[in-house]
Amino acid sequence: MKQQLKIAVCIKQVPDTGQIKWTENNTIDRVNMDSIINPCDEYALEMALNIKDAYKNKQTHISVFSMGPNKACEILKYALALGCDEAYLISDKLFLGSDSYITSKILSQAIKYIYKDEFDLVICGQFASDGDTAQTGPGIAINLNIPLVTYISSLIEANDDSVVVQQNFDDSFNIVKMPFKSLMCIINNNCKLRNPNVLGYVQSQKKDIKIITANDLGFEKNQVGLKGSPTYVYNAYRFSEDNNREKKIYSNLSSNENAKIILKEVQKLFDYYED
């Protein structure tokens, strides 16, 4: 087996979905909200630790990366308590408002900054509960120029130069052999997650969380954050639960007639929110 394995895990602190607050730029106010670890990212951590367990006495090093405000140190400490080896907080005022495209650039650059080109696996959650774009993991893979497999549910085995995993779909699955220097996106698979023990908590308190800034990664003001992001949230709203809203029922229409009605209603929505 490979004598040393270096794993980077990207995790995210997300808002408690019952108490979402917004900034004036229609981005989520992450500083002033109760937050939790993104559910899929818990399974990403579990995957990394399962791989570490599979290698037993071989040297395996897990570094955890999270981009966000200082409050995100909470989930990094949690990852350390679980058994991860190092934790990095990617935090800078210039990063505020970064979309998934820019976030993937920042995270990939942070992995390069720490590992140079000497990493073996990058592991991410498939989705984030506060955005659900599923773009950040694939974006990291593109920026690192490495293979990617999504919708991974479990580890099958670990070999000298690869890991074998199960990839799940709605009605089927694949068994995939992933070479080292690749990225995997993990889904919520309802497996039993491990909990930190007392020794893990004690050891996590002795480890420092290292801060990575925009200057460390070589980013300038206009390259990141709201100014660098091609995606801008024009408006954010929550649908009313009022059951007395107008309902329309159409029947016995052709496909073309259905399409025209849908397009007309969608255009009404765009016109309403542009006003």
Is the separation of the CB atoms in 207 and 87 below 8 Å? yes
- Alpha-carbon distance 180 to 5, whole Å? 9
* Per-residue 3-state assignment (H helix, E strand, C coil) for 62-118: EEEEEECCHHHHHHHHHHHHHCCCEEEEECCHHHCCCCHHHHHHHHHHHHHHHHCCC
Is the separation of the CB atoms in 228 and 236 below 8 Å? no
Q: Is the dihedral of CA 105, 111, 114, 117 positive or negative?
A: negative
Q: Please name the helix (run of DSSP H) or strand (run of DSSP E) that holds residue 204, with its range, or none.
A: helix 198-205
Q: Please name the helix (run of DSSP H) or strand (run of DSSP E) that holds residue 11, with its range, or none.
A: none
The pLDDT value recorded for residue 56 is: 76
The pLDDT value recorded for residue 274 is: 57
| DSSP designation for 259 | H
The pLDDT value recorded for residue 33 is: 66
Count Cβ atoms below 10 Å from residue 175 Cβ, excluding itself: 10
The pLDDT value recorded for residue 255 is: 87
Is the separation of the CB atoms in 38 and 185 below 8 Å? no
User: pLDDT tens digits, the chain, 275 residues: what are they?
Assistant: 556 899 999 999 887 766 666 666 666 666 666 778 888 999 999 999 999 999 876 789 999 999 988 888 999 999 999 999 999 999 999 988 888 899 999 999 999 999 988 899 999 999 887 766 788 999 999 999 999 999 999 999 988 889 999 999 888 899 999 999 999 999 988 788 998 888 888 888 889 999 999 999 999 888 998 888 888 766 666 555 555 667 778 888 888 888 998 898 888 777 755 55
The pLDDT value recorded for residue 206 is: 86
The pLDDT value recorded for residue 7 is: 95
Write out the E strands in the chain. Answer: 4-10, 13-15, 35-37, 59-67, 86-90, 121-125, 148-158, 162-168, 173-179, 182-186, 210-212
